[in-house]
Structure 1
Amino acid sequence: MTSFYKYMMRYRGAKKTTDERKLADWMYYDHEFPKHSQSYDEISQYLEWNIPFNDAIYLFDQLWQDYLEVRN
């Protein structure tokens, strides 16, 4: 199974700056981010403690649903 981090790397380097790109870039540069995790709870808790921007947790919830669909 692919980690959520690896799934998110599809958004890095996009020409258009979107919230998805901002979150992916932040995850890439944050060396403490749980990059190998496939756990919603672990990643969600990490984001709650280290929120990179206001809508990041809401965006994460949306992207997590996409991640689950792609993963299965």
Structure 2
Amino acid sequence: MRTFYQFLMTFRGKNKPDDQSKLANWVFHDHDFPKHSTDYYEISNYLEWNSPFPNALVVFDEIWEMYHL
């Protein structure tokens, strides 16, 4: 199973950036993000303390649902 980080990177580089690509780009540049994690709570807690924009946690939850389909 690939990590959430690997899945999230598929949202980078959109011509018209949306919230999903903004989160992916921010995570790509954040050296402290738990890149090897597959644990919802670890990643969610990290984003709660380091949220890059107001609705980042909502976006994370949406992408997490896709990650587990």
How high is the TM-score relative to the length of structure 2?
0.97
Answering whether residue 58 of structure 2 is matched by residue 44 of structure 1, we say no
Aligned structure 1 segments of 4 or more residues deviating by more than 4 angstroms = none
The residue aligned with 1:63 is: 63
Deviation at 1:29, TM superposition (A): 0.1
The residue aligned with 1:9 is: 9
Deviation at 1:16, TM superposition (A): 1.0
Q: Distance in 2 between matches of 1:59 and 1:24?
A: 10
The residue aligned with 1:23 is: 23
Q: Distance in 2 between matches of 1:58 and 1:13?
A: 20
Which residue identity lines up with residue 68 of structure 1 in the other structure? H
Q: Percent identity?
A: 51
Aligned residues, how many?
Answer: 69
Aligned alpha-carbon RMSD (Å): 0.5
Structure 1 residues not aligned, in runs of 5+: none
How high is the TM-score relative to the length of structure 1?
0.93
Deviation at 1:23, TM superposition (A): 0.1
